[in-house]
Amino acid sequence: MKRKQRVVSAVTAVALTGVGLGFLQPTPVSAASANLTCVGRVGDNAGGLGDSAKTLGALASFTGGSAALSLGIGVNLSAPAKVTPGSGPFDVSVGLDINLPDSLIKAALDTLKLEEIPVTDAKFSLEASGAINESISAGFASQTVNLRSAPVQVKQSIAGKLTPTKAGRVDYKLGAASFSININKAVGPISIGVLTVDCTSNDVIGNTRVQVPGAPIVSAGITVPVWSYTVGGVPLVGTDRVQPDNGNPIIPGSLRLESQAPNGGYSAIGGGAAFFLAPPPSGDYNVNYEVCGQEKFTEPEAGVNSVQTLPLPTTVPQGGLNAHPIGIKLKVGSDTTEWISLSSLAGLFGEVPTPILPDSGQLDFFQKFFSVYRAPAPATIQLALEKLPSVGAGNVKVTKAAPTAADPQPPYMIEFVGQRGNQPQSLVEVADWNTWLPSSGLTGILAALNPPTTVPAPGQTTTTTAKPMTLPELDAALAAGTITLDKYIDGRVKLLTSDIIGGFTSPAALEQITSLFPKKPEPKAITNGKVPVPSVSTGPLCTSFTVTYQVTPNPTVLGASAIRCKSGYTAVKTTVSVRTKTRVKVNGRYVTRYVTKKVPKTVCKKVSTKKATTKK
């Protein structure tokens, strides 16, 4: 009796294949800077099938894709490598090239007969976390995407400012996103309107390091009043004007002159103090200096292995149509594994079950239909991955937990180790998926529901398809010997095909038919790999600051002519050489240099007189 039920189920399966139940396999997204995972929005109105979540799930059943869209993103991030706390806002921007998946493109072109789709109400964001916890948002009202272009992309840029407030590392990743796809098309009796998807991403796309604390704290607004024509000075190191930060000692002799005042005067440093020779004009003279604290060492950061899941079931229900997967191929980067067997034929006389493979060359209807699902051992999947050039032996570990009541179908855990550990890895993808019922089907039903309109050319002869035989006619013909058994089964298949199409008028019927087909597993990243960061020296932790010298006219000096010289002397302008000591940075180290500069000065010189002579 069971064998008879299996044969009837087999006829049903052939019928489903006969109407062209095919899956549009999504093209795997190549390794990109980031990935967005998008799901249909719950609770909106996307057409005859309900909200966007249900509609996207139904489309995924038609195409053999996933109810969750995985969008590869090309990222062009512009952000500083290092900033210091309290330095004020800095600019950050990112350009996004968002690739639409082939499964969606093929469904729109082949099934929905669309050439372009408007994408509307898009919202994207860039999130900063760690030393800064802020987000920057952007979006667009509408973009029309040409489905024949290569690649098919939506473009978006995000730009803004972020303000560092504490030390540490700032990680950037794409935040919450959403957009709407305007389909507005009918598939048979079912209409599809506007699909809205909500997206998330866990991929870190870059970072900025905020300077480690330890640079000296310098008082803001240091001003020094000084008379013109005089030298003013201000003690700095060792006073409350320059203090160690968090106990980090100031390097002796690290005070140095960065730049002179652009409007005149002359400054020098020595003994932890700054000096300024004031020029005649009054006004503010801003001189820039730098002082440094001792180096610090950053905390090392441990590496993290990339861990992903492969949700192959532990068991699948048997009976009825015995729908089950037969084999799977996995892909890492551009490398694809050999077939991994997912089914075996049980021996009729107690023999050991024989695994079957889709490319064995002997996989016939009997083997497909009467084989049973057997989950592969983790070591089998691990060996297949290790054979790939992009992985290598000893560089991946595959495990699978025992089933429990709470988790009866635990996934396989794929962890990249060895030479592939402690670094980001491409998501393992399902490159090929062979099943029974065969994965070659639902597209034909959609084509039958929505056939293309053809108009015969002038003078062209039209043909009429013969009406299929009824079930009594088939039974009578078989009994009379006028048709063979193969013809009889073929006739039954055609009748079943007509019944399926005739009943394919509601979402419930869609769900009932598509539930017969084993769905392709969707690998997911659980832990993103991260390269270890060793402890490194920050180098001297320096603070740049400005001293403002406020020059006012010297009341005792009104100019060179007003200098009071004793009798027999007169005031004249000249220049004198001034030798000062300064600290300069050479090859990362501070060294002492002496600078000699000529400065103006008014001095008194003796008046030379000639004795008067008279002619005799």
Rank 76-85, 249-258, 320-329, 481-490 by mean pLDDT and report only the highest: 249-258
Q: Is the pLDDT of residue 510 over 60?
A: no
Write the burial class of residue 459 (CB in 10 Å: 0-12 exposed, 13-18 middle, 19+ buried): exposed
Range with lowest mean pLDDT among 192-201, 202-211, 241-250, 437-446: 437-446
Mean per-residue pLDDT, 481-502:
66
Q: How far apart are CA 85 and CA 103, in angstroms?
A: 47
**Residue 488: what are its φ and ψ, rounded to 5°?**
-65, -50
Over residues 31-49, mean pLDDT:
81
Whether residue 530 has pLDDT greater than 80? yes
Average pLDDT over residues 186-214: 80
pLDDT at 14: 33
pLDDT tens figures, 11-24: 323 332 332 222 22
pLDDT at 498: 64
CA-CA distance, 240 to 219, in Å (whole number)?
A: 8
Give CA–CA dist 19/498, Å, rounded.
9
What are the structural domains, with CATH classification, of the chain?
22-202 (2.60.40), 217-295+536-606 (2.60.40.60), 302-436 (no CATH)
Whole-number Å distance between alpha carbons of 395 and 386: 7
Contact 440, 23 (CB under 8 A): yes
Residues 182-195 have pLDDT tens digits of 888 876 777 888 98
pLDDT for 484 beyond 80: no
Residue 478 has pLDDT above 90, yes or no: no
3-state SS class at 394: coil
CB distance 296 to 303 below 8 Å = no
Tokens of 333: 């980067």
For residue 453, what pLDDT is reported? Answer: 57
Better pLDDT: 379 or 448 = 379
Helix (H) or strand (E) holding 288: strand 283-293
pLDDT band at 339 (very low <50, low <70, confident <90, very high): very high
Q: When comparing pLDDT for 535 and 357, which is higher?
A: 535
- Are 307 and 414 within 8 A, CB to CB? yes
Per-residue pLDDT averaged across 239-251, rounded?
Answer: 92
Q: Lowest mean pLDDT: which of 115-124, 341-350, 484-493?
A: 484-493
Q: From CA 285, how far away is CA 270, in angstroms rounded?
A: 19
Selected residue with higher pLDDT from 345 and 517: 345
Look over the chain and give the mean of its residue pLDDT values, rounded to a whole number: 79
- The residues near 293 (Cβ < 8 Å, ≥ 6 apart) are 214, 215, 216, 244, 245, 248, 249, 250, 251, 540, 541, 542, 543
What gap in Å lies between CA 8 and CA 272, rounded to an integer? Answer: 98
The secondary structure of 98-122 as a DSSP string is: EEPPHHHHHIIIIIS--SEEEEEEE
Q: Is the pLDDT of residue 231 over 90?
A: yes
Query: pLDDT of 52-69, one tens digit each?
Result: 888 888 777 665 566 778
* Average pLDDT, integer, range 156-181: 85
Whether residue 289 contacts residue 256, with contact meaning beta carbons closer than 8 Å, is answered with yes
Most confident of 283-287, 321-325, 381-385, 458-462: 381-385
The better pLDDT of the pair 269, 586 is held by 269
Report pLDDT digits (tens) over 75-93.
899 998 778 777 789 999 9
Would you tell me how many other CB atoms lie within 10 Å of the CB of residue 304?
16
Q: Average of pLDDT values for 504-512?
A: 57
> Greater confidence, 99 or 569?
99
